[in-house]
Amino acid sequence: MFIAAGLVTAYYLLPLERSDTIGAAAVLACGLLVVALVFSWEVWAIVRSPHPRLKAVEALAATLTLYLVLFADVYYLLERYLPGSFSEPLTRTDALYFTLTTFTTVGYGDITARSQTGRVATMVQMAGGLLLVGVAVRVLAGAVRAGLRRQGREPPE
């Protein structure tokens, strides 16, 4: 939980206003790589943890938060450097709100992607979110089983 809170705090404190040369696409590409690396490290840590179930919950919370903060950054930068990409100007909170409503498939419709770039980024988030949740749960469950076996405890079937 502390990791998730730290990531959201960092999202609000990062000096994105000064990053004129960093594009949203570069942030997205690098960010997705970081999400994959963090997830891989978390799986490794689960297998070696004395409490693999607890570590798996922590890993899922950290990975999902990192993924969501990444897309909030992308939407914020996209609106900042390509104004009109969304139906209204986005603050950091608006970008995080749009990210969460998209991820949870609530989609109230109060903020919408208007530009092609915004729509593509949103589609990437939707597809990636489905993959992340589906794959993450399966991989983390396997890591928990491996961690329990490593300790000589058989996981329930």
Q: What is the pLDDT along the chain (157 residues), one digit of tens a residue?
A: 678 888 888 888 877 765 554 577 788 888 889 999 998 999 899 888 898 888 888 888 899 999 999 999 999 999 988 899 999 999 999 999 999 999 998 888 899 999 999 999 999 999 999 998 888 888 888 888 888 888 877 766 6
Query: Per the structure, how many domains does the chain have?
Result: 1
Residue 157 in domain = no
The stretches of the chain forming alpha helices (DSSP H) are: 2-13, 24-48, 52-81, 92-103, 116-150
Residue 103 in domain = yes
CA 91 to chain centre: 18
Confidence at residue 4, expressed as pLDDT on a 0 to 100 scale: 80
Residue 156 in domain = no
CATH code: domain of residue 32:
1.10.287.70
Neighbouring residues of 152: CB distance < 8 A, sequence distance ≥ 6: none
CA distance 59 to 41: 9
Residue 29 in domain = yes
CA distance 8 to 12: 7
Which domain, by its residues, includes 112? 2-15+24-150
Q: Residue 30, Cβ neighbours under 10 Å: how many?
A: 12
For 24, the token pair is: 């949203």
Residue 123 in domain = yes
Residue 155 in domain = no
Give the bridge partners for 113, in sequence order.
Answer: 86
Confidence at residue 24, expressed as pLDDT on a 0 to 100 scale: 73
Confidence at residue 18, expressed as pLDDT on a 0 to 100 scale: 59
What is the pTM for the complete model shown? 0.84
